[in-house]
Amino acid sequence: MGNAIRYIALDKLTRVLGRLSEILDVWVPTASEEKKRLVRFMPYQAGMIPELVEQSTLGPKGALLPQVESLFRFIYEKDPDDASHKRVELEDPVAPKPTLIFGVRPCDARGFLLFDRVFSAGPHIDGLYGARRDLTLLATLVCLEEDAACFCSSVGGGPADRQGSDLWITPIGDGYVVEALNDRALHVMDLLEEPANELQTAAATKVQQEAAERRVGNLICDQSRSNFLQRFDDLNYWQQMAGQCLSCGICTFVCPTCYCFSITDELKGMRGERIRSWDSCMFYTYTLEASGHNPRPTRLERYRNRIGHKFSYIPEKYEGIIGCCGCGRCIRSCPVSIDIRKVVENLEEKAHACA
Amino acid sequence: MIGWETGYDTLHTTPVFIKDSSEIQRLVWNPFCAQNLAGYLVKSPIVPRGEGSKKIGICVKGCDSRSVVALIQEKLVARDMLFIFGIPCRGVIDLRKLIPNQTGAKILSVRLTDDQVEVEHSKGLQHLAFADVLMRKCKRCRYPDPVIHDVLLGESVLPRIESHELYQDVAAIERLSLQERLAFWQTELDRCLRCYACRNACPLCVCQDRCIAETRDPKWLTQYMNLPEKFMFHFIHALHLAGRCTECGECERVCPMEIPVSLIKEELNKITKELLDFEAGLDLEGVPPLLTFSPAETGI
Amino acid sequence: MGKTDSPTEKRALTIIGFLCNWCSYGGADTAGVCRFKQPTDLRVIRVPCTGRMDPLFIARALILGADGVLVSGCHPRDCHYAVGNLYARRRLEILKRMLPFMGIHADRFHYTWVSASEGQRWQQVVTEFSEQVGGLGPNPGVTSFHTGNREEL
């Protein structure tokens, strides 16, 4: 097992990332040059300083589900034999490359777990996502400290949740102990500085145990599936809970489990590209139909749908997986501080009152 | 009645819609009451606007009150439908400035005294001057007292700056070379996600559901996330606010990528003031200058 | 530098012209009938009135890399639709002053008033503006500064 646990001293980290980026596309969370507090996942470049203490504002989902993804390119050509006839030539997109996302959090990894279930496990398979996912390793950090908006333990995760990860990174003060969690990760282990010694391994185990004992968040949502359906028509409830919503879409963009997308053809003359891009159920245009009718005309219906999707429809459809990872980003980034925990919690209360 | 109540922790407030007098004690007023509530008068499905509905009570700071005036100017809301609770404001705290310098420290509580902010975080205690943690818009506030109100709650507050200092932030950008200005905006707007939060938070962007940035017919913007598209979106948003923006700063506050989008509108307001001597949201009888013309004006 | 009738010296400029149907388009037509010689970089788009001009048309052209944009309409108080150009001049002046703030040179955009009989003036406007834009060089547009390349599509 010598190769399966390594140690990277703090001051060697950028060297390791540099070595890894020679064979893989590496993504790291990093603070913006201009706005030091803004952390987001970027493709690693020499000189970048990874930010592994603060949670990122925008999660790593863009690495596996890019904000803009080419499905194919097309070129129209006039048929030389028949001027009124056009031929179309299709060009496949650039194939994805082996990738490593370094510094994922357990909550972000849960988001990818849901994506795997939705996109790769059937009955409808998304080959593009699958191709990218097969080539991607997730190197996940044990999460040492939560804040007022985190609640990962309440939705099936936790600060020491390894599910879905390929490499497990434990911060131990002056460095990181990294374990391979499966065979996929073994080939990068050699690049990770040196084998961890007994002291370091023991320190890591202690940190992991402490993390595993922490229960982050106290939301109880095991009955939310049915409680939501009961509350569905209660517009009064949705007014109270989401009346202040601006329908802005920030929550869906920062959320690791949101995956809704739009497919558009972008044309310029005779050439074009069909692209998939992030969409948001909070936008009015999301459910706007060609007739002009919109089944979710106001922010209340749209917010209700978001809660329903995450806490009722996804668990219903996908063997009980909750469509929320408890990262708290929506709560922190919401301009009007809507708290999704409160909305879900209060679904329960009425059920008891009725009983 | 629209006001603020405590949010998920002491640092955050959230707008609240009160229909029953028993709920009045939910209302709070403190320097965390950042949201501009004026937008709800025209964009909310739950604020009653029909004939015969009761008046709508709304709490406004100085900046928010200008947005209300702007809405009345454009006949988007009727003055006699409103009962305005005006609150003179000493400033709103920018939470981004409160976060302590050491990474990893989580804020536990905040105590406010007259001019000091005491932040207790997981790595200790920090004292900050109130003036240092204000939002950028507050540092350039000329109308801390609401310009329109039915009742004024609290003591009058003096403006923070003189009128000639109002556009110092955009002047700093103007002093850069053309190349530097382009590079500045390329860097800042590159982070834009096109989440449209700035547009949706703006009380005056009332067409948000039908915004031309999102329509496919006519198609102004593609779904590509490159710089030209991002620039175009911000041009659309800012130009449609030229002469109408009341500088409430919400756009900048809500941006998840911390882009100083308010600067573009401030520049447009500076131009509008110099050219046409108009400041949005002050005079109930005023007409936004781009919605009208004057045959006799010269110099153009 | 500036003469654009020897295209082998430098690449042709892309200058978009929005001309109001009644005055300026007529003025350009008059210049043509009189066979006045002028640079050929201008591509004319006819609009019913400068009042139709949305500042976003100009912004879009410049952002996507047009080297210059010219707008020309009836003289103020002489608009075919009475007041169209009075709205236009406010909007266009504001746009002109805002462009440099965003990093686009204000001299790439020019608006003026040319009536249907002013063929000579039209020649002068086009020549001077083409020279002005030529002097500024090609417009890189607002490109992705990571790659420095214009979006391929």
Map out the domains of chain C with their CATH numbers.
15-136 (3.40.50)
* B101 inside 8 A of chain A by CB: no
Domain shared by B78 and B119, yes or no: no
Residue A339 to residue B197, Cβ atoms within 8 A: no
Name residues whose C-beta falls within 8 Å of residue C25's C-beta, 6 or more positions apart in sequence.
Answer: C19, C44, C46
Taking only the tens place, the pLDDT of each residue in C65-92 is: 999 999 999 998 889 898 999 999 999 9
Shortest CA gap B243–chain C (Å): 10
Sequence ranges of the domains in chain A: 1-65+97-214, 219-355
Residue B200 to residue A58, Cβ atoms within 8 A: no
Domain shared by B113 and B203, yes or no: no
Q: How far apart are CA B135 and CA B140, in angstroms?
A: 9
Q: Which of B82, B106, B133 is the last residue of a domain?
A: B133
* DSSP 8-state code for residue C96: H
Q: How far apart are CA A55 and CA A37, in angstroms?
A: 10
- Those of residues 46-65 in B touching chain A at CB distance below 8 A are 46
Residue B227 to residue C76, Cβ atoms within 8 A: no
Contacts of A70 in chain C (CB under 8 A): none
* B124 inside 8 A of chain A by CB: no
HSE of A17, CA atoms in CB hemisphere, 13 A: 26
Q: What is the 3-state secondary structure (H, E, C) of chain A?
A: CHHHEEEEEHHHHHHHHHHHHHHCEEEEEEECCCCCCCEEEEECCCCCCECCCCCCCECCHHHHCCCEEEEEEEEEEEECCEEEEEEEEEECCCCCCCEEEEEECHHHHHHHHHHHHHHHCCCCCCHHHHHHHHCEEEEEECCCCCCCCCCHHHHCCCCCCCCCCCEEEEECCCEEEEEECCHHHHHHHCCCCEECCHHHHHHHHHHHHHHHHCCCCCCCCCCHHHHHHHHCCCHHHHHHHHCCCCCCCHHHHHCCCCCCEEEEEEEECCEEEEEEEECCCCCHHHCCCCCCCCCCCCHHHHHHHHHHHHHHHHHHHCCCCCCCCCCCHHHHHCCCCCCHHHHHHHHHHHHHHHC
Structure tokens at C14: 């892309």
Domain shared by B9 and B123, yes or no: no
Q: Is the pLDDT of residue A213 over 60?
A: yes
A–B CB contacts, 8 A cutoff, strictly below: 126
Shortest CA gap A231–chain B (Å): 18
The CA-CA-CA angle for residues A158, A160, A162, to 5°, reads 100
Identify the pLDDT of residue A349: 65
Taking only the tens place, the pLDDT of each residue in B19-74 is: 899 999 999 999 999 999 999 999 998 888 777 778 999 999 999 999 999 999 99
Q: Is the pLDDT of residue C151 over 60?
A: no
Residue C59 to residue B179, Cβ atoms within 8 A: no
Identify the pLDDT of residue A26: 95
Task: Report which of A351, A338, A260 is spatially closest to residue A299, judged by C-alpha positions.
Answer: A338
Average pLDDT over residues A327-351: 89
Q: Which helix (H) or strand (E) holds C63?
A: helix C55-63
A–C CB contacts, 8 A cutoff, strictly below: 5
Residue C5: CB atoms within 10 Å: 11
The answer to whether the CB of C115 falls within 8 A of the CB of C74 is yes
A208: confidence class by pLDDT, cuts 50, 70, 90: very high
Which chain C residue has the Cα nearest residue B269? C94
Contacts of B209 in chain A (CB under 8 A): 284-285
Task: Report which of B112, B117, B166, B173 is spatially closest to residue B139, judged by C-alpha positions.
Answer: B166
Domain shared by B44 and B84, yes or no: yes
Residue C143 to residue B271, Cβ atoms within 8 A: no
Domain shared by B270 and B142, yes or no: yes
Contacts of C94 in chain B (CB under 8 A): 242-243, 268, 271-272, 275, 290
- Those of residues 241-270 in A touching chain C at CB distance below 8 A are 266, 268
Identify the pLDDT of residue B98: 82
* B239 inside 8 A of chain A by CB: no
Domain shared by B34 and B126, yes or no: no
Which chain B residue has the Cα nearest residue C82? B295
Assign C113 to helix, strand or coil: strand
Taking only the tens place, the pLDDT of each residue in B266-277 is: 999 999 999 999
- Those of residues 102-161 in B touching chain C at CB distance below 8 A are none
Domain shared by B117 and B6, yes or no: no
- Structurally, chain B folds into a number of domains equal to 2
CA A318 to chain centre: 17
* B103 inside 8 A of chain A by CB: yes
Name residues whose C-beta falls within 8 Å of residue B28's C-beta, 6 or more positions apart in sequence.
Answer: B3, B4, B5, B6, B13
Identify the pLDDT of residue A86: 85
Which chain B residue has the Cα nearest residue A247? B200
Q: How far apart are CA C15 and CA C26, in angstroms?
A: 19
Residue B77 covered by a domain: yes
Task: Report which of B57, B51, B52 is spatially closest to residue B19, judged by C-alpha positions.
Answer: B57
* B225 inside 8 A of chain C by CB: no
Domain shared by B123 and B216, yes or no: no
Q: Residue B281 phi/psi, 5° resolution? A: 70, 25
Contacts of C151 in chain A (CB under 8 A): none
Q: How far apart are CA B24 and CA B1, in angstroms?
A: 9
Q: What subunits make at least 3 CB pairs under 8 angstroms with A?
A: B, C
Contacts of C153 in chain A (CB under 8 A): 266, 268, 271-273
Torsion sign, CA atoms C122, C133, C149, B177: negative
Domain shared by B40 and B120, yes or no: no
Shortest CA gap B38–chain A (Å): 12
Residue C145 to residue B300, Cβ atoms within 8 A: no
CA C7 to chain centre: 20
What b-and-e string marks burial along B85-114, b requiring 16 or more CB atoms within 10 Å of the CB? bbbbbbbbbbbeebbbeeeebebeebeeee
A355: confidence class by pLDDT, cuts 50, 70, 90: very low
Residue B298 covered by a domain: no
Residue B26: CB atoms within 10 Å: 12
Q: Which of B133, B158, B187 is the last residue of a domain?
A: B133
Which chain B residue has the Cα nearest residue A237? B46
Task: Kindly give the interhelix angle for A235-242 and A299-308, rounded to the nearest 10 degrees.
Answer: 90
The answer to whether the CB of A166 falls within 8 A of the CB of A182 is yes
In Å, what is the CA distance from C44 to each residue of C18, C24, C41, C104, C105?
A: 6, 11, 10, 22, 21
Task: Report which of A287, A307, A285, A299 is spatially closest to residue A221, judged by C-alpha positions.
Answer: A307
Q: Is cis: bond before A123, omega within 30 of 0?
A: yes
Average pLDDT over residues B237-256: 95
Domain shared by B173 and B221, yes or no: yes
Q: Is the pLDDT of residue C36 over 60?
A: yes
Average pLDDT over residues B203-217: 91
Residue B178 to residue C103, Cβ atoms within 8 A: yes
Name residues whose C-beta falls within 8 Å of residue C34's C-beta, 6 or more positions apart in sequence.
Answer: C119, C120
Torsion sign, CA atoms A170, A171, A174, A175: positive
The answer to whether the CB of C150 falls within 8 A of the CB of C141 is yes
Q: How far apart are CA B275 and CA B289, in angstroms?
A: 10
Q: How far apart are CA A286 and CA C92, in angstroms?
A: 34
Q: Which domain holds residue B21?
A: 2-94+134-291
Identify the pLDDT of residue A354: 47
The answer to whether the CB of C142 falls within 8 A of the CB of B186 is yes
Average pLDDT over residues A323-339: 94
Domain shared by B180 and B204, yes or no: yes
Domain shared by B224 and B118, yes or no: no
Residue A243 to residue B44, Cβ atoms within 8 A: yes
Total residues found in chain C within this entry: 153
Q: Is the pLDDT of residue B107 over 90?
A: no
Which chain A residue has the Cα nearest residue B16? A244
Identify the pLDDT of residue B35: 95
Q: Work out the mean pLDDT of chain A and round it to a whole number.
A: 90
Name residues whose C-beta falls within 8 Å of residue A81's C-beta, 6 or more positions apart in sequence.
Answer: none
Taking only the tens place, the pLDDT of each residue in A105-160 is: 999 999 999 999 999 987 889 999 999 999 999 999 999 988 889 999 999 999 99
Shortest CA gap A66–chain C (Å): 17
Identify the pLDDT of residue B77: 92
